[in-house]
C-alpha cells in the first residue's frame, strides 16, 4: 500500500480501523494533515510517498530493504488528508500546523504527533511505537505552517475561526505593499497631456 489520500472523516476513520491482511491489531497508521497551499507540504509529499512505499515493501518482505528499519511483523500504513477536502477533520484532530504527522495505533488511538517536516523524527516515532509502550506526546520538529499567528491560546478554535485565521495570515502576506510618498509639499496634481 502506498500513500492513500483520504477525503472525508468517514474515510479516515475507516482507514484507521482497518486491520492488516493477517488480522494483526498491531498495525499503525501515519496520517499527514496537509494543505495544497503549503510549500513545505508540497515539497515533502514525494518523500512521504517514498517512505510509505518503503514501509509497505518492508512489511511485504519482512525485512528492511534500506537498513533503516528493524524487522517486525507490524504494519504501518500512510494516509494523507488535505485541509480543503473536509475541514471538519482538521478541526476534529486539532491540527495547528501544516504538515502535521499523527501516528495512530491499530485501534485508531493517537499515539504521537509531529508538526513540520522531519522524516528522521517520524521514523523514530514509528520505531518507538513498535518497540515500546508509548504515551501520547507532542513533538514539534521543523517549523510547520502555523495557523492563527501564534497567539499562544490553547483553546481549540472553531472551524470558522481556523478558516478566518488562515485567510488573515495569508492575506497579510499578500498585501505587504509600500505606499508611495510625495516629497512635494504641493498637494495639487497637474494633468499631463499624452
Query: What pLDDT, in 10s, does the model give residues 4-44?
Result: 999 999 999 999 987 544 455 568 899 999 999 999 999 99
pLDDT digits (tens, 9 = 90+) for 148-168: 444 444 455 566 776 676 666
The pLDDT assigned to 6 comes to 94
Helix (H) or strand (E) holding 39: helix 39-61
Max intra-chain CA distance, the chain: 83
The pLDDT assigned to 31 comes to 96
Give the C-alpha separation, 29 to 16, whole Å: 6
Delineate the domains of the chain, giving CATH numbers in brackets: 4-146 (3.40.30.10)
pLDDT: which is higher, 96 or 19: 96
Q: What is the distance in angstroms between the CA of the first residue and the CA of the last residue of the chain? A: 67
SS3 string, 92-138, reads HCCCCEECEEEEECCCCCEEEEEECCCHHHHHHHHHHHHHCCCCCEE
Instruction: Indicate the pTM of the whole model.
Output: 0.62
Q: Which residues contact 97 (CB under 8 A, 6 or more apart)?
A: 115, 116, 144, 145, 146, 147
Amino acid at each position: 500500500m502506498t500513500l492513500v489520500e483520504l477525503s472525508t472523516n468517514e474515510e479516515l476513520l475507516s482507514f484507521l480501523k482497518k486491520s492488516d491482511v493477517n488480522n494483526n491489531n498491531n498495525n499503525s497508521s501515519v496520517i499527514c494533515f496537509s494543505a495544497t497551499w503549503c510549500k513545505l507540504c508540497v515539497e515533502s509529499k514525494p518523500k512521504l510517498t517514498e517512505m510509505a512505499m518503503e514501509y509497505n515493501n518492508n512489511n511485504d518482505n519482512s525485512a528492511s530493504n534500506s537498513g533503516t528499519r528493524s524487522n517486525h511483523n507490524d504494519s504501518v500504513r500512510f494516509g494523507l488528508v488535505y485541509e480543503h477536502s473536509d475541514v471538519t477533520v482538521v478541526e476534529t484532530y486539532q491540527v495547528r500546523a501544516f504538515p502535521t504527522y499523527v501516528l495512530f495505533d491499530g485501534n485508531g488511538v493517537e499515539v504521537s504527533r509531529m508538526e513540520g517536516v522531519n522524516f528522521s523524527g517520524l521514523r523514530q516515532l514509528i520505531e518507538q511505537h513498535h518497540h515500546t509502550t508509548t504515551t501520547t506526546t507532542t513533538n514539534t520538529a521543523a517549523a510547520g505552517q502555523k495557523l492563527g499567528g501564534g497567539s499562544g491560546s490553547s483553546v481549540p478554535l472553531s472551524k470558522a475561526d481556523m478558516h478566518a485565521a488562515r485567510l488573515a495570515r495569508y492575506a497579510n502576506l499578500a498585501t505587504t505593499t509600500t505606499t508611495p510618498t510625495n516629497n512635494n509639499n504641493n498637494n495639487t496634481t497637474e494633468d499631463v497631456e499624452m
